[in-house]
Structure 1
Amino acid sequence: MSKRNYWLDLFTGTTWNEFLEAGGKVSGFRESQWNTVKKIKPGDYLLCYLTGLSRWIGILEVISEPYKDDSKIWSFDSFPCRMNVKMVSGLTPETAVPIKDLKDKLSIFEDLKSPNAWTAHVRSSPRKWKVFDGDVVVKAVQNAQKNPINRPFNPAKLKRKPRGMKTKKGTTVTVPTEELEPAKKIANLAISPEPEPVSDSNPHTEIQWMLLKLGNDMGLDVWVARNDRNKSHNGNVFSELPRIKDSLPLQFDEVTNKTIELIDVLWLQGNAITAAFEIESTTSIYSGLLRMSDLISMQPNLTMPLYIVAPDERRDKVIREVNRPTFARLSPPLAEICRYIPFSILKSTIPEIESMLSYLKPDYLDELSESCEIEDI
Structure 2
Amino acid sequence: MVRGNLRRFEEEDGNWIESYLKRQLSTPRRFPLSESDSRKLVTLTVKTQESKEVEVSVPTKEEQEFSPASDKEEVRESIRVQAMLSRIGERMNLKIWLPKSDRQRVLSVWKPENDSLLTILPLNYDDTTLGTIENIDVLWIKGRSIVRAFEVEHTTSIYSGILRMADLMALQPNLAINAHIVAPADRREKVFQEILRPVFTLLPKGPLRESCTFISYEEVKNLSLEKRLEYMNDKVLDEYQERAGDLDD
- Alignment partner, residue 87 of structure 2: 213
Rounded Cα–Cα distance in structure 2 between residues aligned with 1:190 and 1:324: 21
Alpha-carbon spacing, 1:274–1:263, altered in 2? closer, same or farther (3 Å) = same
1:298 to 2:171 alignment: yes
Q: Percent identity?
A: 39
- Alignment partner, residue 366 of structure 1: 238
Instruction: Provide TM-score, normalisation by structure 2.
Output: 0.68
8 Å CA contact retained: 2:141, 2:148? yes
Rounded Cα–Cα distance in structure 2 between residues aligned with 1:254 and 1:214: 29
Quick one: which amino acid aligns to residue 197 of structure 2?
R
- Alignment partner, residue 105 of structure 2: 231
Alignment partner of 1:244 out of 117, 139, 146:
117
Rounded Cα–Cα distance in structure 2 between residues aligned with 1:322 and 1:334: 6
1:277 to 2:150 alignment: yes
- Alignment partner, residue 136 of structure 1: none
Rounded Cα–Cα distance in structure 1 between residues aligned with 2:216 and 2:114: 24
8 Å CA contact retained: 1:229, 1:239? no
Alpha-carbon spacing, 1:303–1:362, altered in 2? closer, same or farther (3 Å) = same
Alpha-carbon spacing, 1:270–1:365, altered in 2? closer, same or farther (3 Å) = same
Q: Secondary structure at the match of 2:236?
A: helix
Quick one: which amino acid aligns to residue 215 of structure 1?
G
Q: Secondary structure at the match of 1:275?
A: strand
Q: Secondary structure at the match of 1:317?
A: helix
Question: Any residues of structure 2 matched to 1:123-272 within 5 Å, and which?
Answer: 191-194=59-62, 202-232=76-106, 235-237=108-110, 242-272=115-145
- Alignment partner, residue 20 of structure 2: none
Q: Number of aligned pairs?
A: 187
Deviates more, 1:365-374 or 1:293-302: 365-374
Q: Secondary structure at the match of 1:282?
A: coil
TM-fit CA distance, 1:362: 0.6
For structure 1, the residue ranges without an aligned partner over 5 or more in a row are: 1-188
Q: Which has the higher helix share?
A: 2
Rounded Cα–Cα distance in structure 2 between residues aligned with 1:237 and 1:284: 27
Q: Secondary structure at the match of 1:306?
A: strand
8 Å CA contact retained: 1:280, 1:288? yes
8 Å CA contact retained: 1:274, 1:362? yes
TM-fit CA distance, 1:193: 2.2
- Alignment partner, residue 316 of structure 1: 189
Question: Any residues of structure 2 matched to 1:101-112 within 5 Å, and which?
Answer: none
8 Å CA contact retained: 2:97, 2:117? yes
For structure 2, the residue ranges without an aligned partner over 5 or more in a row are: 1-56
TM-fit CA distance, 1:250: 3.0
Deviates more, 1:311-320 or 1:196-205: 196-205
Q: Which has the higher strand share?
A: 1
TM-fit CA distance, 1:291: 0.7
Deviates more, 1:366-375 or 1:313-322: 366-375
- Alignment partner, residue 213 of structure 2: 339
Alpha-carbon spacing, 1:313–1:300, altered in 2? closer, same or farther (3 Å) = same
8 Å CA contact retained: 1:231, 1:238? no
Alignment partner of 2:222 out of 340, 348, 358:
348
Quick one: which amino acid aligns to residue 285 of structure 1?
I
Quick one: which amino acid aligns to residue 304 of structure 1?
I
Quick one: which amino acid aligns to residue 338 of structure 1?
C
Q: Secondary structure at the match of 2:61?
A: coil
Rounded Cα–Cα distance in structure 1 between residues aligned with 2:208 and 2:219: 22
Quick one: which amino acid aligns to residue 321 of structure 1?
E
